[in-house]
Structure 1
Amino acid sequence: MSCLAWNCCGLGNLRTGKELVEIVRAKDPAVVFLVETRTDDARLEFVQSSIGFDHRWVVPRVGRNGGLVHYWRASVNLKVEGSDRYYIDAVIKNSENEWRLTGFFGEPDTARRHEARSKLRNLNSHPEKPWLCFGDFNEIIRQDEKLGSARRPHYQMQQFREVIDECGFMDLGFEGSKFTWSKHFENGSSIWERLDRCLVTNSWFMKFAGSRVFHLTCTSSDHVPILISLLGLSPPVRKKIFHFEQMWLSDSSCEEVVYSVWGSGSGLGDGGNILRKVERCGKELGHWEKNVFGNVRMELNRLKKVLANEERAAMISGNNFQVRQIKKDIEVLQDREATMWAQCSRVLWANQGDKNSKYFHCCATKRFWKNAMEGIRDEEGVWRTTQEEVGEIMVNYYKTLFSSTEGSVLGSMLECVPTVIDEEMNAALCKEFEACEVISALQQ
């Protein structure tokens, strides 16, 4: 499923309507939110028929300006909860999820922009529902979101940032052009700004962690359309790489496994022996995790079910010993899970704090998606996606990069280089290292 938002700057323009049809055919969104339609209901109905959508919700224009419209297909279970000149707020339901979709339009007039911000604050009334809010907010967050003309006053950006924080939003980012609005003047100067964006709450991001925002292109409006592709996080199938988990240290038997591996064999041994012990230690710890330590999440879910049964039994028997013991076990596992997510998120400054928060989950999930590699182009520019092909391309690249090639050095060039190392010094430098020299170097 995908959603499209666009400040079309007037649907009365036939060229704009035609471009909208082309965008919808190419991207096939299930929901379309249009800002500044500047037209009447008859024209909006004609546009609905042109793009082949089944339903619409209209906020009429005021005079010759403004106007919002939501189009959606019959396959989407969408119910509009409320609307205003600044927004259309809806709820989307399916068999697995229920979440809010709000199309928003920020006030163009700087003096009245606080009115739109107040409306956005008022919409933050159901924090328990995952929430996506997208559209033209008519404001930037940082100075680097604007290019050209005067700098944006700090207080304006700060007020917008405060609203985002109050609503618990995070910016989904984007792919494509950095700016979504532009204005070009006859003297050759231009202004570019990122006014259109997609904001989501943590709970929404956890449900659709693989979602992406694309800045599209257009010619009939000074705003570009933004397309939000809703996807769950579907990691590529690959062999699990061994990672030492900090939470293992909470179990004393982990130390015993490490000691047993490193205590076997003869001393430190040579470099090859050390590498073999590292590899064996990883295998033994993996076996220990599977058979002794256990899967933390699965064990937590199992204990929570057992706890519910034991609580019902305690109500009848009057003995809560098992209930208290299971709760202690759950607390231990929750601490382990919190340590695991903190390690995955790499938020090193949060040392043993903010246990198992959504912040850690979002950091870890966003980092995974950012680091995921879908494919790579080979030397001929062909896109390769399978794990074997990607691996082969990367290995060949570094083999070529670090391979030596025979070069030719002209004798006349060497004659220009002064001789500093004589034969005696060169012989001393090229001779084999002695044991006493290695010991001396290590003790420095």
Structure 2
Amino acid sequence: MVQSQTPYQVPNRQPNTANRGNQRGRGGRGGAPRRAAAETEHTVVRGRTYGKQISTTVVHHQTDIPESSCRNDMDVELLGDPPDIPRGAASKSFKRTLSYFCRKFHPDVVCLFEPKVSGTHANRICSSFGFEDWIRVEAVGFSGGIWVKDGLSSPWVFSAVYGSPNLPLRKKLFTDLSANISDPHSCWLICGDFNSVTNRDEVSNTESFMSSRCADFVDWISREGLIDLGFEGPKFTWTRGKNTTSYKAARLDRALCNGEWKLRFPNAKVEHLPRLNSDHIPLLISCNPATTSYECKKFIFNFAWTIHKDFRSCVRDSWLPNRDLEDNKTAMAVALIEWNKRSFGNIFQRKKRLMARLKGIQTHLSLHVRQDLINLEKKLSKELEITLHQEELVWFQ
């Protein structure tokens, strides 16, 4: 299911903590919140030929987890304050961010977790991303849901994982994953949001760490002989909190593989990309890392100029009514080039700078929480959103 270049995971997990038990689709009126992992059946939707052919299958399975245990103290600890970001895969900001990452890295597989969209709306969104073949597990209300853009041709096993915050459900997930690998010698890559850590170094608040919460996860990794592929970039993959008091972070997302997969892809690496429009960072998994750059720098007229506040005045100042059309066009072109160098700048270079600064800030936040860095991260994220919108105009012109 994954290409030998750059499989890509974009977690979009953005849980809502306000009145969780009273929301529609989260357990009825005043009842316990519904966990997608606790359901006895799931709807699987597959789209082919860019969404022109859509088929639906209902998968039934048994669970011995009582409904009353579908919430525990880990939910409260991990969720914290609501994220200060657009919600779900339907938001324009998230779609713009995903389009940018896909253009830059050309992944063969894209995984989205908890997209908060279902039904025909979800089908339209998957098709709008330009994915030729995709498969998704229908969400239960706002809980669960996994979308996968499938472009893998190599014969090896890939598991996209979203682990429930509920401990018994997560333990059952590990059992099911092991049971589904019938051939112990197959190449196996497992990545996603496991909603669990392996040690106290993977959480920001080490004082509240309890080894019992991650014991099942650590035991499962050891029992299956799995290898953590490590990472480059910020240590934590999930963050929450608007200030130093409420700030929480943890490494909930990772990529694991068995020995056969590691022997096949010895140079594979995982990069933690900057977190944008989600409370999780994207994981970029490169099976055979390449140095090819996909940035496009050549353009004649930058349509993104037109949304800048100084564009009109630049054109007006360079256009003289007593000059003929061709001379005015030449003068305006020269003026715009100089204005671009002086004020507007290169969108792609600005985007690179903002991405690099965000990555550095998020790395520092994983080591030491500071209010000024939290504020700067929000400011730069807004600047990057504007820059990505300007870049989008360039690609559409």
Alpha-carbon contact 1:217-1:225 (below 8 Å) kept: yes
In the TM superposition, what are the counterparts of 1:303-314 in structure 2 within 5 Å? Answer: none
User: How much has 1:140 moved relative to structure 2?
Assistant: 0.3
Q: What residue number does 2:241 align with? A: 184
Q: Is 2:100 the counterpart of 1:22?
A: yes
Q: Is 2:59 the counterpart of 1:2?
A: no
TM-superposition CA deviations, 1:404-430 (whole Å, max 9, x none): xxxxxxxxxxxxxxxxxxxxxxxxxxx
TM-superposition CA deviations, 1:299-342 (whole Å, max 9, x none): xxxxxxxxxxxxxxxxxxxxxxxxxxxxxxxxxxxxxxxxxxxx
Higher relative contact order (CA 8 A, sep 6+): 2
Q: Which deviates more, 195-204 or 181-190?
A: 181-190
Secondary structure of 1:166's counterpart equals helix
User: How much has 1:64 moved relative to structure 2?
Assistant: 2.1
Match of 1:119 among 172, 176, 197: 176
| Distance in structure 2 (CA, Å) of the matches to 1:218 and 1:22 | 13
Task: State the number of aligned residues.
Answer: 213
- Unaligned ranges ≥5, structure 2: 14-87, 292-397
Secondary structure of 1:101's counterpart equals strand
Counterparts in 2 of 1:13 and 1:166: CA distance versus 1, 3 Å: same
Q: What residue number does 1:67 align with? A: 145
Q: Is 2:162 the counterpart of 1:105?
A: yes
Match of 2:288 among 231, 238, 242: 231
Structure number with the higher helix fraction is 1
| Distance in structure 1 (CA, Å) of the matches to 2:254 and 2:99 | 22
Match of 2:117 among 1, 26, 39: 39
| Distance in structure 2 (CA, Å) of the matches to 1:60 and 1:165 | 31
Counterparts in 2 of 1:186 and 1:115: CA distance versus 1, 3 Å: same
| Distance in structure 2 (CA, Å) of the matches to 1:209 and 1:165 | 20
TM-superposition CA deviations, 1:194-231 (whole Å, max 9, x none): 00000011110011001110101122110001010011
In the TM superposition, what are the counterparts of 1:34-433 in structure 2 within 5 Å? Answer: 34-73=112-151, 76-77=152-153, 93=154, 98-148=155-205, 150-186=207-243, 188-231=245-288
Secondary structure of 2:164's counterpart equals coil
Secondary structure of 1:147's counterpart equals coil
Alpha-carbon contact 2:90-2:125 (below 8 Å) kept: no
Counterparts in 2 of 1:152 and 1:123: CA distance versus 1, 3 Å: farther
User: How much has 1:111 moved relative to structure 2?
Assistant: 4.8
Secondary structure of 1:2's counterpart equals coil
Alpha-carbon contact 2:190-2:255 (below 8 Å) kept: yes
TM-superposition CA deviations, 1:163-191 (whole Å, max 9, x none): 11222210000011111000114564311
| Distance in structure 2 (CA, Å) of the matches to 1:110 and 1:186 | 28
Alpha-carbon contact 1:209-1:232 (below 8 Å) kept: no
Larger radius of gyration: 1
What is the identity percentage for the equivalent residue pairs of Structure 1 and Structure 2? 30
Q: What residue number does 1:11 align with? A: 89
TM-superposition CA deviations, 1:5-48 (whole Å, max 9, x none): 12213213232122111111111101111111121243333333
| Distance in structure 2 (CA, Å) of the matches to 1:187 and 1:180 | 17
Alpha-carbon contact 1:210-1:230 (below 8 Å) kept: yes
User: How much has 1:53 moved relative to structure 2?
Assistant: 1.6
| Distance in structure 2 (CA, Å) of the matches to 1:64 and 1:233 | 37
| Distance in structure 1 (CA, Å) of the matches to 2:224 and 2:182 | 9
Counterparts in 2 of 1:104 and 1:230: CA distance versus 1, 3 Å: same
| Distance in structure 1 (CA, Å) of the matches to 2:101 and 2:120 | 21
User: How much has 1:52 moved relative to structure 2?
Assistant: 2.1
Counterparts in 2 of 1:136 and 1:228: CA distance versus 1, 3 Å: same
| Distance in structure 1 (CA, Å) of the matches to 2:95 and 2:133 | 17
Alpha-carbon contact 1:209-1:233 (below 8 Å) kept: no
| Distance in structure 2 (CA, Å) of the matches to 1:28 and 1:215 | 16
| Distance in structure 1 (CA, Å) of the matches to 2:122 and 2:236 | 28
Alpha-carbon contact 2:171-2:217 (below 8 Å) kept: no
| Distance in structure 2 (CA, Å) of the matches to 1:143 and 1:64 | 30
Alpha-carbon contact 1:121-1:166 (below 8 Å) kept: no
| Distance in structure 2 (CA, Å) of the matches to 1:126 and 1:178 | 33
| Distance in structure 1 (CA, Å) of the matches to 2:147 and 2:115 | 7
Name the TM-score, length of structure 1 as normaliser. 0.45
| Distance in structure 2 (CA, Å) of the matches to 1:123 and 1:6 | 24
- Unaligned ranges ≥5, structure 1: 78-92, 235-444
Q: Which deviates more, 144-153 or 21-30?
A: 144-153
| Distance in structure 2 (CA, Å) of the matches to 1:186 and 1:179 | 17
